[in-house]
Structure 1
Amino acid sequence: MNAFLSLQGKRALVTSGTRGAGAATVCLFRELGAQVLTTARSKPEDMPDEEFVAADLTTAEGCVSVAQAVRERLGGVDIIVHMLGGSSAPAGGFEALSDDEWRTELDLNLFPAVRLDRLLAPDMVAAGSGVIIHVSSIQRLMPLPDATTAYAAAKAALSTYSKCLSKEISPKGVRVTRVSPGWIDTEASVDLATRIAKQAGTNIDGGRKIIMDSLGGIPIGRPSNPVEVASLIAFLASDRAATITGSEHLIDGGAVPTV
């Protein structure tokens, strides 16, 4: 019996694929038959050299080195998953955000995708096929004013950019879509809860409750796990989703309360 989902023979780049949902996506893509190259600033000890390129994607030079590695090691790319993102901004609302804090959030959450697409998408267009998936966040719709204003704004910019790119290159055979997770139970979410807890003078459970309350609750009663997010990304990257482009796909347990 044929498997419902296959990425056999596909060449994929997954940024930030060493932790959390990124690592889960890399693992699932490989299980489904894809050849995957992933990136981070440093290589985990258990990851083979040929599957990884060390680069700082917050810089133009880092993006160039990854694009070169994609061409040299994979011979091109069929799927790009822009998983890189996060926030290190302090709590304290808009007044706590300096110009440097704003630049850091944009350099992490917007510009890596813009630069890598500019470097790699023309080859996809020339081939007349490919899939680009931008991982955004429900924070673009539901920012936490105390802690994620700059992150949310950067993800909103990423979503708008993604929609524009889809309108430009989907007629040329390249699908572009977005995945917007809510709270994912990862190392990064623990870091955020810890940071918020410290600012509030409470423990990590208190930090988690603050996040949950700020989201207005999650109807299913829990965050998503990394494998669930990876499964949605794999479906969108596959030929099963051949007519899906330009759209945003929430995976948030129902946290966004609007239609």
Structure 2
Amino acid sequence: MLVAAAVCPCPPLLVPEVARGAAPELDAVRAACTDALGVLAAARPDLLVVVGPAERPGRGPHPEGTPGSFRGFGVDLDVRLGRDPGTGSEGVLPPSLAVAAWLLERNGWSGAPVEGLGVGEPLEPERCAEVGRQIAARADRVALLVMGDGSACRSLKAPGYLDERAEPFDARAAEALGTADPAALMALDPDLALTLKVSGRAPWQVLAGAATTADLTGTLLYAEAPYGVGYMTATWS
């Protein structure tokens, strides 16, 4: 059963070594992520599952110890998922889960075993929800760390250029995340999300499925659009 969730954005720029001179610009996001992970730790889960967008979904779950790297972003930095060094038998973490592994390491995660799962942006909402329900049934006390960004079309300099539909979409997502509203998350349009370059839609709908039988309260910790991309951090507990 799902007992807690943390929602965090997943840009590699969260890692200061990747952001370099621009690192201070995301200090507020990093602080919100630290607060969100504190809620997960306080819930004392039996299992923590990290869910994030992946270009090649379905490869996983990634067991504890699976390696990740930021070498593709020009930084000689490696991470592993969770505390167990493991064998890395399921290959390399996708970037979103590598960012999650970095967040867990940075914040000294010492709680439950950790697994990772990458989901693809085109995955249908009901299939996302089914994945979430399956995750929630894995243990008596399950926690989720849900990685994903909002629209990448919030400004003229955004990766996807400016789209007037982007801000209202992100506002709906932020309200749903901040109020722990699974139905509102499930109502997010996958086609529009794809057009607006939203990487978090599928992971958020996995969360919605996992929370189907839970009674959780949401708190929105951060919702801004630096660099024209919607970054949201929230907790469900």
Q: Answer yes or no: same fold by TM over 0.5.
A: no
* TM-score bucket of the superposed structures, by smaller chain: 0.3 to 0.5
User: Is the radius of gyration larger for structure 1 or structure 2?
Assistant: 1
Bigger relative contact order, structure 1 or 2, given CA contacts below 8 A and separation 6+?
2
TM-score computed with the length of structure 1 as normaliser: 0.34
Greater strand fraction, Structure 1 or Structure 2 = 2
